[in-house]
Structure 1
Amino acid sequence: MTTSVKAPARRAVGELLREWRDRRRISQLDLAIAADISTRHLSFVETGRSKPSREMVLRLGEHLEVPLRERNRLLLAAGYAPAYGETELGAPELTAVRDAVRQLLTGHEPYPAAVVDRGWNLVDANASLGVLVAGVAPDLLAPPANVLRATLHPDGMAPNVLNLGEWRAHLLGRLRRQVEQTADAGLAELLAELREYPCDQPVPEVEVPGPGDIFVPLRYLHRGTELTFFSTVATFGTPLDVTVAELVIESFYPANPETAEYLRARASA
């Protein structure tokens, strides 16, 4: 006797749109006004009584700030072909993107910088990132190396992060917000894994700045020298490709003159 396994049913586009609207905490009225459609029509779309056009799906996705990958899923759920391509980063079409990223990484020397994808997997980095990953276990750096795992794992950067509790809370909060914004199941699994890592420092539930604080620093011990960094995050401004939209460039800057001098001296040596 042969047992057949049914494929999971595709969810209706109206149900998905309603979830995104709820996630963004936008009322039907506000979304209808922003998208220039009637509230009645939007209600019919969400309940499945009316099928939206391809243009309406894209318009609603735009106003709900749905990630490009998820906009493609909305289109598929509505019976349309995806609108946004997903090109391999090594493809000839993305040569200009790769060149721009490499220029940013190289130009940031002697300070660390890295590029990650939607899952926080390392895509590229400059040579100065070696300051931060020098003591990380080789298996945590084996491709595809996940930078959050390499940072918070006991065999990763964690033993040398002097303010591990504070930095851990910052990273987990950032990832939690990303999960809420994208509804990405893989990121939710990663968040659950990272929360299980041990931490022998108090982890604040809420990031409350102290007197004079202007950012959460990364205080890192490198070969007996304490280095202090802050970071900036950059993305492509007008992406129309899923791969490009999901690239994130994180650049670390010295937070004091001592760290800057140490990194410059290291680069010169």
Structure 2
Amino acid sequence: MVGGMLKQWRRLRGMSQLDLALSAEVSSRHVSFLESGRARPSAEMVRRLAEALAMPLRERNGLLVAAGFAPVFGDNDWTSPQMAEIRRAAGIILGAHDPSPALVLDAAFNVLEANSGAMALLGAGAPAAPSLNLVDLVFCPGPVRDGLVNWDEVALYLMHRMREGVRIRGPQSPLGAVMQRALAQPGVSQLGLGAHTNQGLVLLPVVFNAGGVETRWFTTVTSFGAPQDALAEEITIEQFYPA
């Protein structure tokens, strides 16, 4: 099982067995033996290969478990005591940014927290919950999609971010399922997903119309440095600024 996972991630990274061997400082023959199941890796070897493959922390834990070892990185829920510091830091950022919108997102664009400005912009009318997903709000028919004046541009930009996320985290990740859900929505097939758009733009504006009032925003994405927890590594804070 671990051999198949190694092969899948190596191919996802566009690496040959020799590429991986050189990066992990092992022989290509050993990589071949590991992928075929003829050899079993040590925990240290799994960590070296995962590092060479630039695997996210959650996927590194999965590779260790597949090889018969315990995970080494935390994998805590957003509401767990272990995430209290991250929640507190995120709360400071969201509170300081109000009344401009700000959201805390996980890797699959689930909304973990949102300030009052974000909830007013989204029109959700209730505290953010894991069931609220930014991709679904933008791509699925509803008030948020209807309110996006430049929906085509925003959808293309968000699809680019999802594709990059799937490249990093793998097609079997929760983000992969979210992206497939977005691709199935009406109008997405006509977006020209393979085309280069917005050339020459430094910032992509988000133009939103709510109740006949049009507002323009640009966004920044913040992440936490040097995390040792899978969820902490995945979290981003999306802040909207008046354009």
Query: Structure 1 residue 170 and structure 2 residue 164: aligned?
Result: no
Residue 111 of structure 2 contacts residue 129 of structure 2 at CA under 8 Å; is this kept in 1?
no
Structure 1 residue 33: deviation in Å?
A: 1.8
Equivalent position amino acid for 1:194 in 2: A
Spell out the pairing of 1:71-90 with structure 2 (5 A cutoff).
Answer: 71-90=60-79
Aligned residue for 1:222?
210
Picking from 48, 52, 55, the partner of 2:41 is: 52
Query: Structure 1 residue 150 and structure 2 residue 137: aligned?
Result: yes
In structure 2, distance between residues paired with 1:150 and 1:161: 10
Aligned residue for 1:192?
180
Structure 1 residue 172: deviation in Å?
A: 1.9
Segment of structure 1 superposing worse, 121-130 or 192-201: 192-201
* Cα RMSD (Å): 2.3
In structure 2, distance between residues paired with 1:53 and 1:158: 49
Equivalent position amino acid for 1:168 in 2: A
In structure 2, distance between residues paired with 1:223 and 1:14: 55
Query: Structure 1 residue 246 and structure 2 residue 217: aligned?
Result: no
Query: Structure 1 residue 40 and structure 2 residue 34: aligned?
Result: no
**CA 1:243–1:142 in 2, change beyond 3 Å: closer, same or farther?**
closer
In structure 1, distance between residues paired with 2:211 and 2:188: 21
Picking from 161, 165, 187, the partner of 2:148 is: 161
**CA 1:223–1:82 in 2, change beyond 3 Å: closer, same or farther?**
same
Larger radius of gyration: 1
Deviations 1:234-256 (A, max 9, x none): 2221111112122121111222x
**CA 1:17–1:88 in 2, change beyond 3 Å: closer, same or farther?**
same
Residue 102 of structure 2 contacts residue 115 of structure 2 at CA under 8 Å; is this kept in 1?
yes
Residue 13 of structure 1 contacts residue 46 of structure 1 at CA under 8 Å; is this kept in 2?
yes
Paired residue secondary structure (1:157)? helix
Structure 1 residue 143: deviation in Å?
A: 4.7
Aligned residue for 1:65?
54
Aligned length: 241
Picking from 148, 167, 174, the partner of 1:180 is: 167
Residue 153 of structure 2 contacts residue 198 of structure 2 at CA under 8 Å; is this kept in 1?
no
Residue 230 of structure 1 contacts residue 252 of structure 1 at CA under 8 Å; is this kept in 2?
yes
Which structure 2 segments of 5+ residues have no match? Answer: none
Equivalent position amino acid for 1:116 in 2: L
Structure 1 residue 142: deviation in Å?
A: 6.2
Paired residue secondary structure (2:143)? coil
In structure 2, distance between residues paired with 1:110 and 1:254: 11
In structure 2, distance between residues paired with 1:81 and 1:201: 43
What TM-score comes out, normalization by structure 1 length? 0.81
Aligned residue for 1:26?
15
In structure 2, distance between residues paired with 1:225 and 1:46: 58
What TM-score comes out, normalization by structure 2 length? 0.89
Residue 166 of structure 1 contacts residue 204 of structure 1 at CA under 8 Å; is this kept in 2?
no
Residue 139 of structure 2 contacts residue 155 of structure 2 at CA under 8 Å; is this kept in 1?
yes
